[in-house]
């Protein structure tokens, strides 16, 4: 503690008051912003590698799926019966059970599942995010409105046809060889990273554009039934097919292509010597008027051949509709029935099967979209430096999570924290001082004839444990915690020709500490920069700062 004149003391008190007022305002603003995200947070996800399926197979009907892989799997059928452990093998195995309720949630737990076939199960939800070894997936003929395969990076074959998907993201599935996604409601399909793709069926969707220019391994493409707005789709195909030197089967029926657009499409076909190259263009406005020589001179076979009859007669179509409706009469798949109506409703007069199909469609429940899934899990450990205005040296470590709360532990101290231990080692030379600048020896006697020296230092040590919460994506996080702080003031004084040190009794306190702030993380580098406020006993506020590395 250093003796100063009254004028300096007054100036110091005024400046100290202004700083406390400013820090109080900062404390209030930051506290409001930080505490809001902690009012609610996502539920933690279950542990272990698993697949979760939600089926709406009616009570009494068979629920059946197939698995392939290695190791053991446990099946929880969601009906209260004991879990069913089974060993997987190198051949496809059937798992089945009679449904005991309208909605069944099935959980498959196992590390070695590489193939899953669950078509025709009336699935409304499917969680595959915890099964990263999956190589083959067939979920066709269900009622899925969304399908997340972004974490299934080992996928080679994917069949999700005849569902209700409006979006399919396969950018992370770079090993994909066969993609069957026809008869959905897709508007876009990005295949720019799927360089190994050889077979693509995306017919009967709502695609407005399709770019396969980077899929040089493509051998078979079916993009029929995507009118998309006359020239929009044909323009993309015209620009992209020149990048497919291995293509030998192209089906682009019912795409609203004019004769000019088909001619331009033929011009982009390769002329490599591959046996049996065919292109089918039935049902386009320009089918009969296009110049087939643009394709035939490159050894492509163009179908249909306009020199032959143009297709089945009306009587044949009626018979085909009767046969197909017998197969669909008891179907619960809305998409299949809608496709049937679209295919045959142009027959005049209207055939009875169309009326029956419309009645059946109205009887089926409209699938409700599943509840919005929580964000994809993000978990980072972190460790690094932390400090504040009083305690500039510290360490912090913890874990970030975007589902539920993460945690952290921080400890900070003054650089001269060793000083109390130095003072305690002086034995009989320990003195104390109070705020009235009176110095006492160890027996409590007041010392006379002393001069306070120039050395005065507050020693602080504080530890905080708290929680972290995601604010925005995985680059902004908040933290809040509580702990304790210990302060001690060391002051020098002279008595005669000797210099001594004294502890200030009024400043040696154990206090409650509250800590909160924000952290900004760089996904590119992994470094995270934090800042915030430390409140000691809700009266003294200090700014905190730090830098950590996440991993």
Asked whether the predicted pLDDT for residue 465 surpasses 50, the reply is: yes
Least confident of 22-31, 475-484, 536-545: 22-31
Q: What is the mean pLDDT of residues 134-158?
A: 93
Q: Does the predicted TM-score (pTM) go above 0.85?
A: no
Say if CB 244 and CB 274 are below 8 A apart. Answer: no
Q: Does residue 178 or residue 42 have the better pLDDT?
A: 178
Quote the pLDDT of residue 43: 39
**DSSP three-state, residue 434:** coil
Q: What is the 3-state secondary structure (H, E, C) of 317-345?
A: HHHHHHHHHHHHCCCCCHHHHHHHHHHHC
Asked whether the predicted pLDDT for residue 531 surpasses 80, the reply is: yes
Asked whether the predicted pLDDT for residue 139 surpasses 90, the reply is: yes
- Rounded to whole angstroms, the Cα distance separating 489 from 138 reads 71
Asked whether the predicted pLDDT for residue 21 surpasses 80, the reply is: no
Residue pLDDT, tens place only, 251-272: 988 888 888 888 888 888 888 8
Quote the pLDDT of residue 428: 46
Residue pLDDT, tens place only, 95-124: 888 887 777 888 888 888 999 999 988 899
Q: What is the mean pLDDT of residues 438-467?
A: 68
Quote the pLDDT of residue 5: 43
- The neighbour count for residue 257, using CB atoms within 10 Å, is 27
The 8-class DSSP code of residue 185 comes to -
Q: What is the mean pLDDT of residues 332-344?
A: 79
Residue pLDDT, tens place only, 194-222: 999 999 999 888 888 788 888 999 999 99
Residue pLDDT, tens place only, 243-256: 788 999 999 888 88
Q: How confident is residue 412, by pLDDT bands cut at 50, 70 and 90?
A: confident
Q: What is the 3-state secondary structure (H, E, C) of 115-139?
A: EEECCCCCEEEEECCCCCCCCEEEC
Asked whether the predicted pLDDT for residue 134 surpasses 50, the reply is: yes
| 365 Cβ contact partners less than 8 Å away, ≥ 6 residues apart | none
Say if CB 397 and CB 408 are below 8 A apart. Answer: yes
Q: What is the mean pLDDT of residues 505-531?
A: 80
- What the block records as the tokens of 133 is 């070894």
Asked whether the predicted pLDDT for residue 524 surpasses 80, the reply is: no
- Rounded to whole angstroms, the Cα distance separating 134 from 154 reads 6
For 209, 290, 327, 383, 390, the CA distances from 543, given in Å and listed in that order, are 54, 75, 73, 20, 9
Q: Is the dihedral of CA 442, 445, 450, 453 positive or negative?
A: positive
Q: For residue 109, report the phi and psi dihedrals to the nearest 5 degrees.
A: -110, 125
Asked whether the predicted pLDDT for residue 279 surpasses 90, the reply is: yes
Q: How confident is residue 236, by pLDDT bands cut at 50, 70 and 90?
A: very low
Say if CB 109 and CB 129 are below 8 A apart. Answer: no
Q: How confident is residue 152, by pLDDT bands cut at 50, 70 and 90?
A: very high
Q: How confident is residue 233, by pLDDT bands cut at 50, 70 and 90?
A: very low
Say if CB 265 and CB 241 are below 8 A apart. Answer: yes
- Terminal CA-to-CA distance of the chain, rounded, Å? 45
Say if CB 431 and CB 490 are below 8 A apart. Answer: no
What does the DSSP assignment read for 156-188?
Answer: -EEE--SS--S----TT-TT--EEE--SS--S-
The mean of the pLDDT values for the chain is 77
- Rounded to whole angstroms, the Cα distance separating 398 from 408 reads 4
Q: How confident is residue 39, by pLDDT bands cut at 50, 70 and 90?
A: very low
- What the block records as the tokens of 342 is 């679209």
For 251, 278, 295, the CA distances from 203, given in Å and listed in that order, are 9, 17, 22
Say if CB 253 and CB 224 are below 8 A apart. Answer: yes
Nearest to 161 by CA among 185, 144, 145, 184: 184
Q: Does residue 429 or residue 163 have the better pLDDT?
A: 163
Asked whether the predicted pLDDT for residue 127 surpasses 70, the reply is: yes
- Rounded to whole angstroms, the Cα distance separating 547 from 520 reads 10
Q: Which residue has the tokens 């059970």?
A: 97
Q: Which secondary structure element, helix H or strand E, spans residue 442, and what is its range?
A: none
| Dihedral class, residue 311 (left if φ above 0, else alpha if ψ from -120 to 50, else beta) | left
Say if CB 212 and CB 200 are below 8 A apart. Answer: yes
Q: For residue 411, report the phi and psi dihedrals to the nearest 5 degrees.
A: -135, 135
- DSSP E strands in 165-286: the ranges are 178-180, 199-201, 220-222, 249-251, 278-280
Least confident of 186-195, 227-236, 391-400: 227-236
Work out whether strand 498-504 and strand 431-433 pair parallel, antiparallel, or are unpaired: parallel
Q: Which residue has the tokens 């395969």?
A: 149
**Beta bridge pairs of residue 222:** 201, 251
Residue pLDDT, tens place only, 155-196: 999 999 999 999 999 999 999 999 999 999 998 899 999 999
- Rounded to whole angstroms, the Cα distance separating 391 from 381 reads 24
Asked whether the predicted pLDDT for residue 68 surpasses 50, the reply is: yes
Asked whether the predicted pLDDT for residue 234 surpasses 50, the reply is: no
Quote the pLDDT of residue 237: 44
- Report percent pLDDT > 70 for the chain: 70
Q: What is the mean pLDDT of residues 498-509?
A: 61
Q: Which secondary structure element, helix H or strand E, spans residue 422, and what is its range?
A: helix 419-424
Nearest to 171 by CA among 157, 154, 187, 190: 190
| 497 Cβ contact partners less than 8 Å away, ≥ 6 residues apart | none
- Rounded to whole angstroms, the Cα distance separating 378 from 321 reads 51
Burial of 326 (0-12, 13-18, 19+ CB in 10 A): exposed
Say if CB 159 and CB 183 are below 8 A apart. Answer: no
Quote the pLDDT of residue 3: 36
**Beta bridge pairs of residue 158:** 137, 179
Crossing angle for the helix pair 259-267 and 231-240, nearest 10 degrees?
10
- Report percent pLDDT > 90 for the chain: 18
- Rounded to whole angstroms, the Cα distance separating 470 from 472 reads 6
Say if CB 229 and CB 211 are below 8 A apart. Answer: no
Nearest to 155 by CA among 139, 172, 169: 172
Highest mean pLDDT of the ranges 10-14, 24-28, 166-170, 449-453: 166-170
Highest mean pLDDT of the ranges 14-23, 121-130, 240-249, 297-306: 121-130
């Amino acid at each position: 503690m250093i003796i100063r004149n009254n004028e300096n003391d007054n100036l110091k008190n005024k400046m100290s008051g202004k700083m406390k007022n400013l820090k109080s305002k900062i404390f209030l603003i930051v506290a409001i912003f930080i505490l809001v995200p902690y009012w609610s947070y996502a539920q933690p996800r279950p542990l272990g590698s698993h697949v979760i399926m939600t089926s709406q197979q009616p009570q009494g009907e068979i629920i059946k799926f197939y698995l392939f892989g290695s190791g053991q799997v446990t099946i929880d059928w969601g009906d209260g019966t004991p879990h069913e452990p089974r060993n997987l093998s190198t051949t496809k195995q059937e798992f089945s059970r009679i449904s005991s309720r309208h909605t069944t949630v099935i959980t498959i737990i196992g590390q070695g599942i590489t193939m899953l076939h669950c078509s025709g199960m009336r699935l409304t939800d499917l969680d595959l995010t915890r099964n990263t070894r999956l190589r083959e997936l067939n979920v066709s003929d269900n009622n899925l409105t969304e399908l997340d395969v972004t974490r299934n990076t080992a996928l080679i074959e994917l069949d999700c046809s005849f569902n209700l998907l409006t979006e399919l993201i396969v950018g992370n599935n770079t090993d994909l060889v066969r993609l069957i996604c026809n008869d959905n409601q897709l508007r876009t399909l990005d295949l720019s990273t799927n360089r190994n793709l050889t077979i693509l069926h995306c017919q009967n969707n709502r695609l407005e554009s399709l770019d396969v220019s980077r899929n040089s391994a493509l051998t078979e493409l079916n993009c029929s039934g995507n009118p998309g707005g006359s020239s929009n789709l044909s323009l993309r195909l015209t620009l992209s097919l020149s990048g497919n030197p291995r293509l030998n089967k192209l089906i682009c029926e019912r795409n609203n292509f004019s004769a000019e657009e088909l001619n331009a499409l033929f011009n982009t076909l390769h002329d490599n010597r591959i046996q049996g190259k065919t292109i089918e263009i039935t049902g386009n406005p320009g089918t009969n008027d296009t110049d087939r020589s643009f394709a035939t001179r490159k050894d492509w076979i163009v179908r249909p051949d306009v020199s032959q009859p143009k297709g089945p007669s009306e009587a044949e179509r009626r018979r085909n509709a009767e046969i197909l409706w017998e197969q669909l009469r008891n179907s619960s798949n809305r998409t299949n029935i809608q496709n049937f109506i679209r295919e045959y409703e142009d027959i005049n007069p209207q055939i009875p099967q169309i009326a029956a199909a419309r009645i059946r469609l109205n009887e089926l429940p409209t699938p409700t979209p599943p509840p919005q899934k929580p964000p994809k899990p993000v978990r980072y450990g972190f460790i690094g430096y932390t400090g504040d205005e009083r305690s500039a040296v510290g360490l912090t470590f913890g874990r970030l999570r975007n589902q539920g709360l993460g945690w952290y532990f921080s400890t900070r101290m003054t650089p001269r924290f060793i000083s109390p231990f130095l003072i305690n080692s002086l034995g009989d030379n320990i003195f104390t001082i109070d705020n009235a600048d009176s110095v006492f020896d160890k027996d409590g006697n007041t010392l006379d004839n002393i001069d306070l020296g120039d050395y005065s230092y507050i020693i602080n040590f504080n530890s905080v444990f708290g929680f972290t919460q995601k604010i925005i994506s995985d680059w902004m996080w908040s933290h809040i915690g509580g702990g304790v702080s210990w302060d001690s003031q060391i002051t020098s004084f002279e008595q005669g020709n000797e210099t001594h040190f004294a502890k200030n009794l009024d400043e040696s306190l154990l206090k409650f500490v509250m800590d909160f702030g924000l952290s900004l993380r760089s996904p590119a580098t992994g470094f995270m920069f934090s800042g915030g406020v430390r409140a000691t006993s809700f009266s003294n506020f200090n700014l905190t700062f730090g830098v950590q590395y996440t991993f």
